[in-house]
Amino acid sequence: MANKVNVMQVEDKQELRKRIWGVLEDNDHLRTSKSCFGRIPNFKGAYQAAERLRKTKEWQDALTVFSSPDSALIDVRRNALVDGKVLLMATPKLEEGYLLLDPGKIRGQEEMASTIEGAFQLGKRIKNFPQVDLVVEGSLGVDLAGNRLGKGKGFADQELAFLKQEGVIGAQTPICTLVHPQQIVDQVPVEAHDESINMITTPEMVIRINIISSLNF
């Protein structure tokens, strides 16, 4: 993983956000009629990316999966529950903390439980966390050094920092993001508080950042 440096000014992050949002909207890369500006994009191919992640060793070895609440990851959350994995989910804007969903207690309701509303109904708020085997975060953009760009609110960085602080993820924990190929950019501007990812999944491939030769098509 490359060392983080302030390669650009903070203002350039917003310019990059606007460019990615524009590319996705202008090229009909979204699976919703809502504008993606100001959001983590719910991109076309998110289902296929989730299925590709599902075939990886990282997924198959994971007993507990952590997910951000982004709509682009609804298939990831459903797959985790269907596959019998404990699902931890951050609540929107972290206003309600974190939820735990036990797959054994919601059998047959995985589709509903993968939504934000369903997670609140079927999950439980927690303060004591189990060990997390796989983290999946939504992103607006990402580069091949593992730097990610969010929508500008810093929630994913807070989530990752919190999980590290709690000691439930470590240096070897896979931290994955699902994106459309158009969301992979040459360079994401980086600040000191930004957290990195080490795995990118698109509908077509899995890229493991810390193993340069590991490109699985």
pTM of the model: 0.90
Question: Which domains does the chain carry?
Answer: 10-106+129-140+148-216 (3.40.50.10420)
Q: Does residue 10 have a pLDDT over 60?
A: no
Count of beta carbons in the 10 Å neighbourhood of residue 75:
19
The dihedral sign for the CA sequence 73, 79, 84, 85 = negative
pLDDT per position as a tens digit, 104-163: 999 999 999 999 999 999 999 998 999 999 999 999 999 999 999 999 888 999 999 999
162-201 in b/e form (b: 16+ CB < 10 A) is bbeeeebbeeebbbbbbbbeebbbeebbbeeebbbbbbbb
Cα 35 to chain centroid distance, Å, stands at 20
Share of the chain above pLDDT 90, in %: 86
Count of beta carbons in the 10 Å neighbourhood of residue 110:
20
